[in-house]
């Protein structure tokens, strides 16, 4: 449990660093464009690839803290025990979806690597973005599986300061 909690926090820290980088690039680009009349080549590309990786990196912490949207309109009248079972089933389904996503993103990354696919302006290798998304997807799947087996309280202790 402790390792999954630490991995979720580490992924979120990396995502925060990426978002900070995106902000700095955007500010730098705006300053250059407004004061010098030139803009940074490929700023949009760096923003796009960093955003994709950041979103993936936030997923483990979102799952560990039960931060995903839960629609409980139909289950509000059910008992707490049945709701807990449904929540665990939902965590299992999410885990399976993230295993599938990790698999497909891995294949996409391998294909991008083999094709030598790059961004248009900067020539940034696209496989790096795919590779950055796979580990957090696997961690999210493991967190969902852990919540399915041991319940949601198991990780809450690790994430509370």
The region of weakest confidence among 27-31, 49-53, 68-72 is: 68-72
100 pLDDT tier (thresholds 50, 70, 90): very high
pLDDT of residue 158: 66
Residue 95 predicted with pLDDT over 80: yes
DSSP letter at 34? I
pLDDT value at 74 more than 90: no
Going by C-alpha positions, the residue among 87, 64, 65 that lies closest to residue 75 is 87
Which SS3 state, helix, strand or coil, does residue 76 take?
A: coil
Helix or strand run (H / E) with residue 105: helix 80-115
Confidence of residue 157 (pLDDT cuts 50, 70, 90): low
How many Cβ atoms from other residues are within 10 Å of residue 145's Cβ? 18
Confidence of residue 56 (pLDDT cuts 50, 70, 90): very high
Per-residue pLDDT at 161: 61
Check residue 77 and give its pLDDT: 86
Share of the chain above pLDDT 90, in %: 61
Q: How much is the pLDDT for 151?
A: 84
Tokens read off for 109? 């990354």
Q: Give residue 60's pLDDT.
A: 95
Q: Is pLDDT above 90 for 19?
A: yes
Residue 91 CA to residue 107 CA, distance in Å, equals 24
pLDDT digits (tens, 9 = 90+) for 40-51: 888 888 898 899
Ramachandran region of residue 154, left (φ > 0), alpha (ψ -120 to 50) or beta?
alpha
Q: Is the dihedral of CA 24, 29, 30, 31 positive or negative?
A: positive
pLDDT reading at 139 higher than 90 = yes
Q: Could you tell me if 125 and 100 are in contact, meaning their C-beta atoms sit under 8 angstroms apart?
A: no
CA distances from 56 to 17, 23, 48, 79, 89 (A): 13, 18, 13, 34, 22
| Rg of the chain (C-alpha set) | 19
């Amino acid at each position: 449990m402790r390792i999954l909690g630490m991995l979720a926090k580490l992924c979120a820290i990396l995502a925060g660093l990426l978002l900070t980088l995106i902000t700095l690039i955007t500010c730098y680009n705006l300053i250059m464009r407004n004061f010098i009349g030139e803009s940074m080549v490929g700023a949009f590309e760096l923003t796009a690839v960093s955003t994709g990786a950041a979103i993936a990196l936030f997923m483990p912490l979102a799952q560990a803290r039960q931060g995903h949207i839960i629609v409980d309109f139909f289950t509000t009248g059910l008992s707490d025990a049945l709701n807990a079972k449904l929540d665990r089933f939902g965590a299992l389904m999410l885990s399976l979806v993230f295993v599938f996503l990790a698999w497909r993103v891995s294949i996409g990354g391998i294909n991008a690597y083999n094709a030598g696919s790059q961004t248009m302006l900067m020539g940034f290798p696209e496989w790096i973005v795919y590779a950055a998304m796979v580990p957090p997807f696997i961690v999210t799947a493991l967190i969902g599986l852990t919540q399915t087996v041991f319940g949601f309280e198991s990780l809450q202790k690790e994430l509370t300061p």
